Amino acid sequence: MSFGQNIDDLVSASPNALHAIHESWARVRVREVANLVNGFPFKSNGFNDKSGTPIVRIRDVTSGVPGTYYDGLTNDPKMTWIENGHIAIGMDGDFNSRVWSGGKALLNQRVCTLKADRDFYSQKFLAYVLPGYLNLINEHTSSVTVKHLSSLTVRDIPLPLPPLNEQHRIVEKIETLFAQLDQGEAVLREAKKLLARYRQSVLKAAVTGELTAGWRAQRSEQLEHGRDLLARILKTRREQWQGRGQYKEPAAPDITDLPELPQGWVWCSTEQLADVQTGATPKKGDGRFYAEGKKPWITSTAVNDDLIIEPQAYITEIALRETNAKIFPKGTLIVAMYGEGKTRGKVAELGIDAATNQACAALLVGALPKPVREFLKGFYLYNYEAIRLLSSGGVQPNLNLSLIKETALPLASEVELIEIQSRIDLELGRIQAVSKYCQSELARSAALRQSILKDAFTGKLVPQDPSDEPATELLARIRGERTTATRKSLLRKENS
């Protein structure tokens, strides 16, 4: 649905300083100081990701880079070009905007571009002030599915109008202060990257035995061999098995090309440690499977959280009886076998009893000793990239249950696994503390940006200069120019 309220009333009633103005300023409509041009309805069969003319789609407003090319004619005069410095606005969803810096490109439908008349309004000032008003409109736009923004609504936004010279002083001050924040944020983001790398190095040291090499050397005569632990695990699984037919021993891994392990360690396959299963998606159109369902059900996207505690949906007992969907217990490890972006290959732990769809591999580890469960999860966390490379298929490569079952991992004695986890917990605790600090400082920096903008748009960031052309005179000049332009346009039409 589209916005249907009075924008002036909303702005007047808003307690947010982003929508306020200094008493010496005026207000002016977007349409009075900027030119808005809508995108063109290109046919999607001309889209590709390799060759042609770059085209800005609504998702590119957030990324700032064209993600699509158009392979077709581009000489239609109705087509819109966007260039660096123009403001791009996404007309659906969150109503995002940005100063475009992704190079000259065509503009797709549901994206518009704004360019201020520099004789009256600063383009950079417009870029800073506009998001606050777009957010206000978004908050008051009702929607069943996707929110829609009209170009008429954008043109009608009552912008703050400081004197033109004051606009330039405000922009200069904002950019100076934001540049300082940028430097600090860059350091914090780099620190977070380094922490992520260090986390991976800790996990690598854990699963290769480097983390406990010295500890192990001092106790080499006292430690049992990893194969003895593996034998106990297999014995327990055999004794506790309650499936149909004759029990089938899980296959050991092919270790032909695997590296040599530390003394006392052994290679094993994932299926030797865990019962590997998957779920199903009950037919979406069958209300018996979902209506008033109470059984949690997740998809592969759930693995983006380390601990899964929120289901994507709920299914019914009928769905569990009539489909291959099944409830896996809390503590089960979930590996995404396919999914978009970085999802495939990720691992997470169920924090609730839940069913999964067929895109998830469920590693039932409840019968394993706790140190083995923790080590298995750490192994999959560290080997995320390597496991992704096992994928097969065409455009969207996938993992499968066989690949997960056959994945080989090292196993040490239970005592050493306890020591490994203790050291992991210590290092990851330190990493988490520093990462939390970095995140809080980034949040504080974001809040400072908002405070700077609030001061800017209420006239507190820079002093007013009595020698500036007053805002009321600037507004009169703007409207005088528009009246003259309208008359000239009418004369041209009469004489044509």
Which of 162, 178, 194 is the endpoint of a domain? Answer: 162
pLDDT value of residue 3 = 84
In angstroms, the Cα distances linking 179 to 173, 174, 267, 460 are 10, 8, 52, 19
Q: Last residue of a domain, which of 380, 412, 444?
A: 412
Look at residue 306 and tell me if it is in a domain: yes
- Which CATH number fits the domain that encloses residue 172? 1.10.287
Assess contact for 335 and 399: CB atoms under 8 A: yes
- Examine residue 364 and state whether it is found in any structural domain, yes or no: yes
Residue 484 lies in a domain: no
Q: Percent of the chain, pLDDT > 70?
A: 96
Q: What is the pLDDT of residue 488?
A: 57
Which residues of the chain fall short of a pLDDT of 50?
none
| Dist CA 29 CA 11 (whole Å) | 13
pLDDT at 340: 63
Same domain, 348 and 454: no
Domain-located, residue 331: yes
State whether 401 and 441 are in the same domain: no
Q: Tell me, what CATH number does 377's domain have?
A: 3.90.220.20
Q: Are residues 196 and 230 in the same domain?
A: no
Domain assignment present for 483: no
Whether 480 is in a domain gets the answer no
Residues 149 and 216 in one domain: no
Number of domains making up the chain = 3
Helix pair 123-139, 164-208: axis angle to 10 deg: 70
Q: Are residues 33 and 153 in the same domain?
A: yes
Question: SS3 for 84?
Answer: coil
Task: Give residue 241's pLDDT.
Answer: 85
- DSSP per-residue codes, 363-379: EE-TTS-HHHHHHHHHH
Mark whether 271 and 338 lie in a shared domain. yes
Q: pLDDT, tens digit, for every residue of 141-166? A: 987 778 999 999 999 999 999 999 99
Amino acid at 146: V
The reply to whether 348 and 377 lie within a common domain is: yes
Contact 344, 337 (CB under 8 A): yes
> In terms of domains, do 41 and 123 share one?
yes
Please tell me whether residues 78 and 200 are part of one structural domain: no
Domain that holds residue 228: 224-412
**pLDDT of the residue at 93:** 93
Domain presence at residue 476:
no
Residues 337 and 435 in one domain: no
Does residue 53 lie within any of the structural domains? Answer: yes
Q: Do 66 and 205 have their domain in common? A: no
Q: Do 123 and 26 reside in the same domain of the chain?
A: yes
**Single residue among 162, 177, 202 that ends a domain in this structure:** 162
